[in-house]
Amino acid sequence: MIIARKKSFVYRIVLYILIIAGAAISIFPILWMIMSSVKPDPLIVNPEPIWFFKPTLEHYQMLFTKAQDFTFVRYFVNSLIISGASTLIAIVTGYFCAYSISRFNTGGTQYSYWILSIRMLPPAVFITPIVILFGFYRLMDTRIAIIMMYLIFNVPFAVWIFLSFIDDIPIDLEDAALLDGYSRLDVMRKIIFPLTAPSIVAVGLICFIFSWNEYMFALVLSFQKASTITIGTARFVGGYGIWWGRISAALTVAAVIPIALGLFGQRYLVRGLTMGAVK
């Protein structure tokens, strides 16, 4: 008995050391980013890391004051609109699509795999045809182009997560509601929707974070007007040097949104991603 307890005590100590080490390693880059964002420029490039200094907000001021040809605020707003819109559209279309595949076997048994197969391709495959197509329709450097691009990735993901959720809800439940007097739309709204709410939060979060962090397509499809925050941040890498302080400040601002969403949706995220598989 005593031996067992001792063993478990040692086990716990080791476990906690490992957990703390893991957490430190993962949190360090973020911490360093935040520190750099409030460090005066000369100290950032110091060969020895400097831990203690007088913090400054000059980088943040630079971000939010209007420069000649671009503004950080515009990139931030672009990112919000593009990520928000592509997430919303992915949720709505994905949800209805998944419902119809699950309940009416739309498109036959292979249809859902066909949708999934879109995500199996390396994303770069899409670049050339999409650039030609969007160029033809004069969609380059518009937010709509980037929203549509992200939907290519977000909709299949949404369909698959929703599909696993809706499949789990017994069809009898819908039949019962139909018998009780609901229309098909009422059944979806009042029975299926509340039961699949965690999946909606999970899908929303993941789609949003994917869109928010995406770099390659945003770079190819936008020049200036429609650039997102990832592109905007990269623009601080100039021909005459790298503005480390401003990059850190921009990234800190950019990280606030996903972190806030993550904290808010964490509970649902875990439930949403495990409920389909584990009961």
Partner 1 sequence: MANVRLEHVYKNYRDVKAVIDANWECNDGEVVSILGPSGCGKSSSLRMIAGLEEISNGSIYIGDRRVNELSPAERNIALAFENYALYPHMTVRQNISYPLKIRNVEISEIKKRCDQILTMLDLHDISGYKVTGLSGGQKQRTSLGRALIREPDVFLLDEPISHLDVKLRAKMRDDLKSLLKRTGHTAIYVTHDQLEAMTVADRIVVMNLGEIQQIGTPMEVYERPQNKFVATFIGEPSMNLIPGSLKKQGGKNIFSINGQNMEVPAEVQVEKAAKEGKVSFGVRPTECFLSLTEKKGWLKGKVYTITKGIDTAVYQIDIDANHVRIVAERTVGGTIGDTAWVSFDFQHSRFFSEETGGRINLSK
Q: Which is nearer to partner 1, 42 or 181 (CB)?
A: 181
Q: Which is nearer to partner 1, 170 or 239 (CB)?
A: 170
The least distance separating partner 1 from the CB of residue 60, rounded to whole angstroms, comes to 45
> Of these, 179, 185, 277, 278, which contacts partner 1 (CB under 8 A)?
179
Q: Which helix (H) or strand (E) holds 96?
A: helix 72-104
**Which one of 12-20, 77-85, 172-180, 226-234 is the stretch in contact with partner 1 (CB under 8 A)?**
172-180
Task: Give CA angle at 272 (162, 82), nearest 5°.
Answer: 70
CA dist., res. 234 & res. 243, Å (int): 10
CA dist., res. 99 & res. 179, Å (int): 19
The least distance separating partner 1 from the CB of residue 204, rounded to whole angstroms, comes to 20
Q: And the tokens for 108?
A: 């036959």
Distance of CA 85 to the CA centre of its chain: 13
Q: Which is nearer to partner 1, 70 or 182 (CB)?
A: 182
Task: Give CA angle at 98 (213, 192), nearest 5°.
Answer: 105
The least distance separating partner 1 from the CB of residue 182, rounded to whole angstroms, comes to 6
**175 binding partner 1? (CB under 8 A):** yes
**194 binding partner 1? (CB under 8 A):** yes
Backbone φ/ψ region at 275: left (φ over 0), alpha (ψ -120 to 50), beta: alpha
Rule CB under 8 A: which residues touch partner 1?
170, 172-173, 175-182, 186, 191, 194-195
